[in-house]
A and B are shown apart, each in its own frame.
Chain A
Amino acid sequence: EVQLVESGGGLVQPGGSLRLSCAASGFVFSSYEMSWVRQAAGKGLEWISHISTGGGTIHYADSVKGRFTISRDNAKNSLYLQMDSLRAEDTAVYYCAASRRFDYWGQGTLVTVSS
């Protein structure tokens, strides 16, 4: 069974940092492109970053470029999102998604940026 489990969310003050993790199982993680997608309460989905299978190609949405860093460890079947200089508008549920088609999704982890 395919599983993606996000962790690392929580409450952080504006300007702070968090590192999200996404643990994958049930599929060959190293063969799948991965992405992070977020959703603010009551809002639509927002794609924020993508990483290729080997990690050599990375893209970011303008809203997080320069503040967020995506990475992966294929040996640990894990995806990461380092989030720095957090703002109130970064408050959202963060999902990891697998494949170019976003076939598989985790259940999400809530990040709240507030003083």
Chain B
Amino acid sequence: QSALTQPASVSGSPGQSITISCTGTSSDVGGYNYVSWYQQHPGKAPKLMIYDVSNRPSGVSNRFSGSKSGNTASLTISGLQPEDEADYHCRSYTTGSTWVFGGGTKLTVL
């Protein structure tokens, strides 16, 4: 149950687009279309932003999108806004019917 690999930090200016990667193996990210992304502001609980690779829950801005290629999933945020500054965590289903998270990525909006 090794954690998925995310970059520790990414940054972008308001209005720009950024992409956060989440790399696993064929036993998790590559083997299932059950990748989710969560946004977490400091001191707050995580919030679901993307589920099943590319689906947005009701109420989540369409500036957030998800995709997957092989063992790597990606979260793209377009039209960056100051309120997007937060930590982002990916999660995947794994063989053995367990879940695994990535290490988290801190997004800074410059």
Which residues of A does B touch, CB under 8 Å?
35, 37, 43-47, 50, 57, 59-63, 95, 101-103, 105-108
16 A–B contact pairs at CB < 8 A?
A: A45-B40, A45-B91, A45-B104, A46-B3, A46-B101, A47-B98, A47-B100, A50-B97, A50-B98, A59-B96, A60-B98, A62-B1, A63-B1, A101-B48, A105-B47, A107-B44
B102 interfacial contact with A, CB 8 Å: yes
Q: Which residues of chain A have C-beta atoms less than 8 A from B99's C-beta?
A: 35, 47, 50
Q: State how many angstroms separate the Cβ of B8 from the closest Cβ of chain A.
A: 10
Q: State how many angstroms separate the Cβ of A29 from the closest Cβ of chain B.
A: 18
**Interface residues in B, total, Cβ within 8 A:** 25
If A45-B104, A103-B48 are given as contacts, then 9 extra A-B residue pairs at C-beta distance below 8 Å, sorted by A number, are A44-B101, A45-B38, A46-B3, A47-B99, A50-B97, A59-B97, A60-B98, A63-B1, A103-B57
